[in-house]
Amino acid sequence: MAVLIVTARVPRRKLALSVAAAALLCCCTLALNLGQAVSQEVSGSALPDPKGVRSNQDRIDYLSAYGWQVKEEPLATQELQIPKEMDESYNEYLALQAEQGFDLEKYAGKRVKRYTYEITNYPSGETGVQANLLLYKTTVVGGEVLSPELDGFLHGLAMP
């Protein structure tokens, strides 16, 4: 078995600078990873619990947890049935719900209630913006914010 030994002369000053640079790089990497983990934990815990939403006040509080202020009474309450089989026309809507942690396919064929509220604090100052919440029994299973205007928009419950 052959052993190869390599020696090099490195001035102490360069060695000290190299060690300090490596230590600084390690510290920065750790700080970034820790900051990312804390950020994910805080954002995850800030989301409201979708279970146990029973009353009008519970629905308002749920929307409030996302930062929305809404009028006290819903504009509309409708009972809907989630289709048993969803074709590709539902893909974008299902993706929007999935991005928020909702799995509407799990409720295929089930009857849900949709509560529509008027938002009074949309960041752009636009009026008439609405928030929909889909509830299966006492669990929020979907939701979105939208502008019913002809050139309107649709996005998740998170404040833009």
| Residue 6 in domain | no
Q: Are residues 19 and 85 in the same domain?
A: no
pLDDT band at 50 (very low <50, low <70, confident <90, very high): confident
pTM for this entry: 0.70
Taking 50 as the threshold, does the pLDDT of residue 24 lie above it?
no
pLDDT, greater one: 47 or 86: 86
Tell me how many domains the chain contains: 2
Taking 50 as the threshold, does the pLDDT of residue 36 lie above it?
no
| Residue among 110, 118, 103 at smallest CA distance from 80 | 110
Q: Are residues 90 and 116 in the same domain?
A: yes
Q: Which domain holds residue 18?
A: 11-46
Q: Are residues 128 and 92 in the same domain?
A: yes
Average pLDDT over residues 36-43: 40
Q: Are residues 29 and 98 in the same domain?
A: no
Edge to edge, the sheet with strand 154-155 lists 76-81, 111-118, 130-136, 139-146, 154-155
| Residue 140 in domain | yes
Distinct helix (H) and strand (E) counts, the chain: 3, 5
| Residue 1 in domain | no
Quote the CA–CA distance of 17 and 93 in Å, as a whole number: 55
